[in-house]
């Protein structure tokens, strides 16, 4: 996978998650996507945190160094803190902040020279797993949730009209 293919795939998954967060009511975006899962707002807080780490890793790659993932091994507690930090914020602010961190990831990705980013023949495995696979995983959850809401009549006709 090359840089452009990677970027298009990431943007597609991101768009499917950010649109509902930005467009739906507070009541909807704060309900769990499914039993035992985060709400869409909590998921965004999780991604803000993860995207910030990805920016640091890409900056390290830009400098030609290896990123130390050791500080992020306690992901459950770190994710819980990120979600708690965003709890009181309006979902529109969380959506805006996620848009900013996501845009920063994509800009950091663009800045890393090919000889560093693609030195092993393609997008690094850590980037695919931590960004693309992660976005796709959660995008599937968000898509299933919005489809369920549509089936159950939980969305008005004007809400998310561009989603399949």
In a domain, 82, yes or no: yes
pLDDT at residue 163, as a whole number:
44
The number of distinct structural domains making up the chain is: 1
Q: 129 lies in a domain?
A: yes
Instruction: Please determine, for residue 102, whether its predicted confidence score (pLDDT) is greater than 80.
Output: yes
Three-class secondary structure assignment of 41-59? HHHHHHHHHHHHHHHHHHH
41 in a domain, yes or no?
yes
Judge whether 162 lies within some domain. no
Q: Domain span at residue 31?
A: 3-151
> With contact defined as beta carbons under 8 Å apart, do 41 and 17 qualify?
no
Question: What CATH number should be reported for the domain holding residue 29?
Answer: 1.20.120.450
Tell me if 158 is assigned to some domain: no
List, for residues 41-100, the tens digit of each pLDDT value: 999 999 999 999 999 999 999 999 989 888 887 777 888 888 888 888 888 899 999 999
Question: Cα separation of 36 and 6, whole Å?
Answer: 30
Quick check: is 80 in a domain? yes
Express each pLDDT in 11-35 by its tens digit: 999 998 888 888 888 889 899 999 9
- pLDDT, residue 156, reads 54
Q: According to the model, what pLDDT value does residue 57 have?
A: 95
On whether residue 164 sits in a domain, the answer given is no
pLDDT tier for residue 138 given thresholds of 50, 70 and 90: very high
Q: Does 156 reside within a domain?
A: no
Mean pLDDT for 138-142 is: 94
Euclidean distance between CA atoms 8 and 14, whole angstroms: 10
Token pair of 117 as six digits:
């980013």
């Amino acid at each position: 996978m090359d840089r452009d293919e990677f970027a298009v795939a990431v943007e597609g998954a991101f768009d499917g998650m950010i649109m509902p967060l930005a467009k739906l009511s507070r009541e909807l975006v704060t309900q769990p996507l499914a039993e035992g899962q985060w709400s869409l707002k909590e998921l965004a807080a999780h991604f803000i945190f993860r995207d910030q780490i990805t920016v640091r890793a890409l900056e390290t790659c830009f400098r030609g160094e290896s990123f130390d993932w050791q500080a992020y091994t306690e992901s459950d507690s770190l994710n819980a803190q990120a979600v708690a930090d965003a709890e009181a914020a309006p979902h529109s602010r969380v959506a805006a902040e996620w848009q900013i961190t996501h845009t920063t990831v994509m800009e950091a990705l663009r800045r890393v020279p090919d000889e560093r980013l693609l030195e092993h023949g393609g997008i690094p495995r850590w980037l695919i797993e931590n960004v693309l696979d992660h976005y796709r995983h959660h995008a599937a959850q968000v898509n299933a949730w919005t489809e369920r809401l549509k089936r159950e009549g939980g969305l008005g006709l004007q809400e998310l009209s561009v989603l399949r």
